[in-house]
Amino acid sequence: MAENVLVAPPMEEEPEPTPERPSPWLRLARLFLRQREASIVVVAIALIIYFQLSKPAFLSAQNIRTLSQFVAATAIISAGEVMLLICGEIDLSVGQVYALAPFIMYFAKQEAGLPLIVGLILGLIVCALVGLFNGLITVALRVPSFITTLGTLFLINGLTLTISQGFPVLTPSEGLVDEVLGHASYSEIIWAIAIAIVMQIVLSWTRWGLHTIATGGNLLGASEVGVNVARIKIGNFMLCSVLGGFAGTLEAFRITSIDPQAGGTDIMFLAVAGAVIGGTALTGGLGTIIGAFLGTLVLSILRDGFTLLGVSAFTFDIILGAAILVAMILNVRLRLWREAGRE
């Protein structure tokens, strides 16, 4: 090294970047990789490249629309699950309010003659009450939310099947309302993105978000400092349910029918898996909405891509399971690497 310095021409214009100050690009790359969501973005891009190379129809306008429909409803639910997971709880029943909310809207319109919007709001209020119920049982009676919401899962499912008598109905339509609320091509994904942005702001830049992290990070400590942890938990149960009901309603407008069997545990587990792949810890205190959105995107890309490749549904589940494991392992490894690199 010393010799190099001596040999180096003294008129050199650009000094070699020292190890502490690498080139801006390298620094940008490092900054990016240290973000919690970086690993999942890398996975998503790799998958897109892979599917595009094996099936050029992957990035066609048609397929992008399909993909956006896969993502939207699940991403909205995962935003709610992230808030709950961060404060240390989970909602297994969100796939059932997903089916219930549009039915309430339907009956409000068909039976009571109320405007569609009023029906939608009524549906969401019922969802909020389901969330309140989940929250009260969990917080006041100290039943673990895994059990509480397993109970409401069956309860709400039975309720929806009873009021619908098990039959799907046509989604009522009312001028522009149904277009805006999911029927128009990209309206559902626009809602999903808007909700993700708003929820990320709530999580990162409001007291509610801060107190949610505090509650999940250190329940005793947070309450010693005076955070009303019961209120935070119950509020997030309600939020998650409302988002579930809203997602179900958007989907009902999109496919123009309301199915009592829609959603269910499938969409709930996808939303939770998306959140976890996106970096949310099941132990509480950690997670981002954007990460969950990207996690859901990865799952949707997998599903859509393999469908395009003509992989059978059975094989798909095997691949999906493996993909979730690989994504999780990658995520954990990258997180450890990131933490080591921060010193």
Q: How far is CA 214 from CA 83, 86, 237, in A?
A: 12, 9, 16
Build a one-symbol-per-residue string for 107-146: x at contacts with other proteins by CB under 8 A, - elsewhere: ----------------------------------------
Cβ proximity to other proteins: between 139 and 270 the closer is: 139
For position 168 contacting other proteins by CB under 8 A, the verdict is no
When the beta carbons of 80 and 285 are compared against other proteins, the nearer one is 285
By the rule CB under 8 A, 27 interacts with other proteins: no
Q: Site for other proteins (CB under 8 A): which residue of 158, 221, 321, 341?
A: 221
Interface residue with other proteins, options 52, 66, 218, 307 (CB under 8 A)? 218
- Assess 207 for contact with other proteins (CB under 8 A): yes
- Choosing from 210, 308, 309, 330, the residue that interacts with other proteins (CB under 8 A) is 210
The span of 88-96, 172-180, 219-227, 230-238 binding other proteins (CB under 8 A) equals 219-227
Does the footprint of other proteins cover residue 205 (CB under 8 A)? yes
SS (H, E, C) the chain: CHHHHHHCCCCCCCCCCCCCCCCHHHHHHHHHHHCCCHHHHHHHHHHHHHHHHHCHHHHCHHHHHHHHHHHHHHHHHHHHHHHHHHCCCCCCCHHHHHHHHHHHHHHHHHCCCCCHHHHHHHHHHHHHHHHHHHHHHHHHCCCCHHHHHHHHHHHHHHHHHHHHCCCCEECCCCCHHHHHHHHCCCHHHHHHHHHHHHHHHHHHHCHHHHHHHHHHHCHHHHHHHCCCHHHHHHHHHHHHHHHHHHHHHHHHHHHCEECCCCCHHHHHHHHHHHHHHCCCCCCCCCCCHHHHHHHHHHHHHHHHHHHHCCCCHHHHHHHHHHHHHHHHHHHHHHHHHHHHHCC
Q: Does 176 bind other proteins (CB under 8 A)?
A: no
Number of residues that bind other proteins (CB under 8 A): 22
Contacting residue, 203, 222, 234, 270, with other proteins by CB under 8 A: 222
Cβ count near 232 (within 10 Å): 29
Footprint of other proteins on 226-255 (CB under 8 A): 226-228
Q: Which stretch binds other proteins (CB under 8 A): 44-52, 179-187, 209-217, 303-311?
A: 209-217
Select from 286, 290, 301, 302 the one that contacts other proteins (CB under 8 A). Answer: 286
Task: Quote the Cα angle for 130-276-94, to 5°.
Answer: 15
- Min separation Cβ 3 and other proteins, Å: 37
Pick between residue 15 and residue 342 the one whose CB is nearest to other proteins: 342
- Residue 256 in contact with other proteins, rule: CB under 8 A: no
Binding part of the chain for other proteins, among 67-75, 126-134, 192-200, 225-233 by CB under 8 A, reads: 225-233
Cross-strand partners of 258: 169
C-beta closer to other proteins: residue 71 or 82: 82
Least gap, CB of 140 to other proteins (angstroms): 16
**Footprint of other proteins (CB under 8 A):** 201, 205-207, 210-211, 213-214, 216-218, 220-228, 285-286
